[in-house]
Structure 1
Amino acid sequence: MPIDLPGFDIDQFVTATLAEDLGEGGDITSAAVIPADARFVGIMDSRDAVTVAGLDIAEAFFRHLDPEVRIERLVADGDRVSANTDLMRLEGNARAMLTAERSALNTVQHLSGIATMTRHYVDRIAGTGAILLDTRKTIPGLRVIEKYATRMGGAQNHRMGLWDAAMIKDNHVAVAGGVGPAVARAKAAGIARIIVEVDRIDQIEPALAAGGTHLLLDNMGPDLLREAVALVAGRVPTEASGGVTLDTIQAIAATGVTYVSVGRLTQSAPAADIGLDFATA
């Protein structure tokens, strides 16, 4: 069953991506070199150990150019696989598969890279009780699928955009005249989820008193995080954020925060090494 990605039109994405690659002249290499009726078998495989994401979208690229292509999934999104694992077997029109190859691979490499990095972070905080969150630091137009990839890696999604929760950050506070007034205005506007960024202990009580429902504890070290968590005392969820790395996340998660958010999951994940090798059918 195809993945359900509310807010993301896979068909539109595939059509636009292929149009970008094909331009006005089409795949001149395949048209010149490959007979129109030639058929190939292809194996998509991972050269490194990865957490897989994006196979549905990759399949959509191949089916868009050859609706009769035969595809066998050998793993599923979210699976952790070792190096040299076959992911997908395809058999179809050779021109179509060669034309779709790069777009399909780019997508799986990018999303699997995000899922793989995410899984490393999730593994690092195992046993602490903290939950890993992603952020809005995504490539424009790709947020839905990038956040899908973080879920495949074991994280939970933070807000999807500006619309599904208020997040009051330092610039909002500066313009509004303080944490309390900023939160109070959001509450008066009828917003149910009010995330408040605080970077000092003395901002916590004003944020809670005004109606904050989630505290983002920004750029606090472990000692300060423990103090903040103790002060909040479970009244709202707490989230550690800011400059979190694989080397620091375990100590941060162990402070008792509810969540740890990491922007680099979508901002800096390297592409996974995934290829597609063809052999005559």
Structure 2
Amino acid sequence: MIDFEDLPVSLRAELGSAGLDAGDVYRHVVEALEEDLPTGVDVTSEATIAAGARAVADFGARSAGVVAGLGVAELALRVVVGDDLTVEHRVADGSRVAAGEVVMRVAGPTRGLLTAERTALNLACHLSGVATATALWVEALEGTRARVLDTRKTLPGLRALQKYAVRCGGGVNHRFSLGDMAMVKDNHVVAAGGVVPAFHAVRAAYPDIPVEVEVTDLDQLRDLLDAGCDRILLDNMDSATMAEAVRITAGRASLEASGGLTLERAREVAVTGVDFISVGALTHSVTVFDIGMDLQDL
């Protein structure tokens, strides 16, 4: 495996321009590769492929959707193969592709390509699944003011990559961590003695941090609006109640719908006038988007 400093500057810059920390992505990819290579050898490829063999391989979409993570897949290949790799991106992350479309072509030592294949595909398929699912929500909300948000319900170690994939699908990122925004949930409300005391406690302790408070009824909403809260989460409300919440709020706060929402109900919720719809399923239970790597005849 090659060191981070040996990766092409252009690839590191590409990841950086996508809002990713290239060093963090590198470390994650190396950990993933080490799961496959605890002995440092792919015994199947070593046994069946001549040492000097070279190949061209196409990464092809098996169905229609939105791709994400092609640069991450390239990084996995380069960590194994090193400089002896040619990569041609046929599409950019965030592109809609058709079934059978080649999204990336690579050329290099056959052993290295096949050694890195599964790690590269695991990452690209998962991230493309997140992007594709997000795009379906974006399409369902088209023509309304609502934007689809991700959550912190991400796979451990994959948060930055999953949230990047959400952006590729046209969605919006919610907070990244427990420190960049306060989210007052039901257990905080119980511990603090109510939504307003909880809001005031956060505002007093961290005056410069954005604060969002979860409410379960319209009385809590009114109390928070009177207290000056400008970000409110409507938890598990029916559509009629959300529409009334929008009317009561009258633009004084941004409203986020959350809790048990489905794609089939997305537009019904959006037309209530809420600003955001948060969907944990974008990251915690997404179906992978199938991409395959196929060697080509030279």
Normalised to the residue count of structure 1, the TM-score between the two structures is: 0.97
Instruction: Extract structure 1 runs of 4+ deviating beyond 3 A.
Output: 5-8
- TM-superposed deviation, 1:246: 0.9
| Counterpart in the other structure of 1:3 | 15
2:247 to 221, 224, 230: 230
Deviations 1:211-258 (A, max 9, x none): 423000011111000111111111111111111111101010000111
3-state DSSP class of the match of 1:247? helix
- Higher normalized helix content (fraction of residues): 2
| Counterpart in the other structure of 2:4 | none
1:102 to 103, 115, 118: 118
- Work out the CA distance in 1 between the residues paired with 2:123 and 2:206: 39
| Counterpart in the other structure of 2:233 | 216
CA RMSD for the aligned pairs?
A: 1.2
- Work out the CA distance in 2 between the residues paired with 1:81 and 1:279: 20
3-state DSSP class of the match of 2:296? strand
Deviations 1:78-123 (A, max 9, x none): 0001111001111101110000000000111100011001101100
Deviations 1:28-83 (A, max 9, x none): 11111111110011000001001000000000011112222001110110000111
| Counterpart in the other structure of 1:28 | 43
- Work out the CA distance in 1 between the residues paired with 2:63 and 2:295: 19
| Counterpart in the other structure of 1:50 | 65
Structure 2 residue 176 is the aligned partner of structure 1 residue 160: yes
What is the 5 A alignment of 1:114-153? 114-153=130-169
| Counterpart in the other structure of 1:254 | 271
Asked whether the equivalents of residues 180 and 209 of structure 1 are also in contact (C-alpha less than 8 Å), the reply is: no
- TM-superposed deviation, 1:280: 4.0
3-state DSSP class of the match of 2:219? helix
- Work out the CA distance in 1 between the residues paired with 2:273 and 2:296: 53
Percentage identity across aligned positions? 47
Normalised to the residue count of structure 2, the TM-score between the two structures is: 0.92
- How many aligned residue pairs are there? 281
- Work out the CA distance in 2 between the residues paired with 1:118 and 1:279: 32
Structure 2 residue 210 is the aligned partner of structure 1 residue 193: yes
3-state DSSP class of the match of 1:220? coil
Unaligned runs of 5+ in 1: none
| Counterpart in the other structure of 1:176 | 192
3-state DSSP class of the match of 1:270? coil
| Counterpart in the other structure of 2:52 | 37
Structure 2 residue 96 is the aligned partner of structure 1 residue 80: yes
